[in-house]
Structure 1
Amino acid sequence: MAAKNFPHGRNGEDSPRFQIFILVLLISTIAAPMAHAIGITPAKMSVNFEPELKTTLSQKVFNNDHRDLNAVIYAHGELEPYIRIIDSLVPVKAEEETKEFRYELSLPKDFKKPGLYSAEIVVMELPKAASPGQETSVTALGSVVSELYVRVPFPEKYAEAKLVVETTAIDKPVRFVILLNNYGMQNIVKAKAHLDILGATYEKLGEAETNDISLAAKQDGKIEAQWLNPDIKPGVYHVKGFLDYDGKRIELEQNFKVGSLSIEIIDLKADKFKLGSIAAIDVFLENKWNSPIKGVFGIMTATASDGTEYVKSKTTSIDMDAISRDKITAYWDTRDIPVGVYNLNIDIHYEGQTTTRLIRANVNIDSFRTDLSTVGRVVVGEATKNRDTFLYILILALIAANVGWFIYMKRRKK
């Protein structure tokens, strides 16, 4: 890291910036890696460039250990000259789960070239001082980093794409989803992808074509394709292809799994969902394997269409019986979440494998609609249907029994 020069006097050794720099330098030198007692949200933020834009951004420090602490905030990276930390020292009390801090972003008239510019917003816990007369303690130090991006648009057409392949069973189609962002200042008339599916030795097994869409400048969207081969065997496969948009091309490539040990995501529900609260998102799973699977847990990442990552929630672990259904719960703090559409990337981890599902969620004040179902309201699920069917059969059986008993008693009296 390049050395910083600080002048002496009023803006030198006595300045808060100089003192914070020395403190951070000392902490970075002596702090050993350890579990994070603090966290930061959002984990990633994105701002679209505007000439001489001046805006105040806010994030939150998480007090994971629920204890009194002090945190120092500073910026690092190529955007550092344009960032002024407003709340550079943040005291957090034990009873406070989160504490907000602010910083100001002041952009120039222009950047030399278009693209993505970044900075790290670092939250570092200060060392705890011992009682008077005792040595200073540097235990329980930790730091977390959030990413800040400024997207400078391209004058022409420019798109970026991310390929997501959902894990599937052998007898079901493989779903390929391509997330698109138009980071140019011109509209994209047509975007479409061609995909080749390859085997373990890269032999071609099939191909798939996505639908096509148009994208306005600075907008996002997605295209999809499905592929099914009834003769496919369980294992790892490869997809390779390209996205074509108005004569420009983006190469796409990724491995994916079919069959074998499998846990599927079958539903999402959020009872009594209300924007502004901590929402419990229940992820319903199905174990299709014929033996128990232990230590199943999930990680849910919620990302807005502009790339802002609002939550990365890890669930508790559960053990699933063979050929069974169960659920895990992820928590989403929606207190600072605006109404809108979010991409929920859900990764289910078990026995060294991962099941991935990308779900589009439409978040409103009192509802939460997804690609799978409508949650946040009363929804009749499979269990309810089965229970109702059972009740109907039981009622009919009781009626039949009563009629039979009535006829029997009447004949007996005769």
Structure 2
Amino acid sequence: MPSPSRLNVLVFPCGSENALEIHQALTYSIHVNLFGASSIDDHGRHLFANYCGDLPKIDAPDFDSVFSSLLQTWRIDLVFATHDSVQEYLGQRTATLGFTLVNSDPLTTRIARRKSLTYAQLADQSWTPAIYSGLEQVDRWPVVIKPDQGQGGQGFCVARNAFEAEAALLAVSEPLLVEYLPGEEITVDCFTDYQRELIWIGPRTRERTRAGISMRCHFLKVDPKINAIATCINERLVMRGPWFFQLKKDRDGQWKLLEISCRVAGTMVAQRARGINLPLMTIHDHLQRKVSPLPQSNVRLIERRILTVIELDYTFDTIYIDLDETVIMDGKAIPATLHFLYRMHARGKRLVLITRHDVDPAQALMAACISPQLFETVIHIVDGVKKSAFIKDKDNAIFIDNHFPERLDVANTCGIPVFDVDALELFN
């Protein structure tokens, strides 16, 4: 049950990569009750214990009333928007719907959503890229065509001549014709506090990306140029909380602005990995507490991967699990198995150890620093009886064993799902 002494924090939509980062950043905070909502049934339901997956989309006529009702039902104190269009939409409605949004300034959310407005707001800066109103203005090829409201590289096209540019302009929605930037690209994560002080600037490389999300990055020093850009953006736009901008080097090796976003980035986990928990800083800043970054300078590289989870169309209350090479190996605990067992135990599942171990299983568990009390029952088989003979509750149990013949027998005899150790990480 949510604690009444904590802030009720809603993440919407809650199935994206940056929603996952907010969840991971706040899930163990003693200050927060987490809630997740989406307009489509997505990965968020595997993350958030408090979840709503059937909100209307923001362009639906009943979105405002349904969203307002959800805020009241859950008594939400603070909302994180995780998509730029949602950020802009909610930013225009905080007053009428009566809620608090992270980075809620209506004008800022509108400017940040459109590159044309962003570049116009910063047109007097040398680091703002050249924008062409038509092909006749292009003085150097290639050029870039990209959507005014795009994100994650969607709709991006490099045109080497006027013919290619004409085709791209017709294919891209609300196209912008922009200076081509061939050099290195970086993301700069920032944090502005409730007094509008810019207290964190964290540049990171974008060395390998997938669907616009950086999967590998190194941290860079904040040089005077990057610091000046961040400071200028913070002065021109009203930020509060985490935000980021992206830079790319031009033909002369000078940084130019790509875009600004006033939300948590998909790879802001990189900052948390070195001690800067930006979503948690947001919570304290919301309470008007002065926050101070404490970076760990020895963290240099971030590598990410895709997370996979499974969902069973089968309800189980009991887990039968083998010991040797399943819970322990070479006398030591298998970390992935322990992670699984403790998660299941916390959810009230009944854990039953079933083993042919040659000595007392309790001794083997304690030698591996595992409490035998983790298991409700320990079945120690000392003869050749098959494990399937000891599985009684065949309508609501699963069986885990590294040995295929044991799994095959239980599957055929008991008709319950069986898994090897490698599958345990897939359980949410």
Query: Could you say which structure has the larger radius of gyration?
Result: 1
| TM-score (structure 1 length as normaliser) | 0.24
From the two aligned structures, give the one with the greater strand fraction. 1
From the two aligned structures, give the one with the greater helix fraction. 2
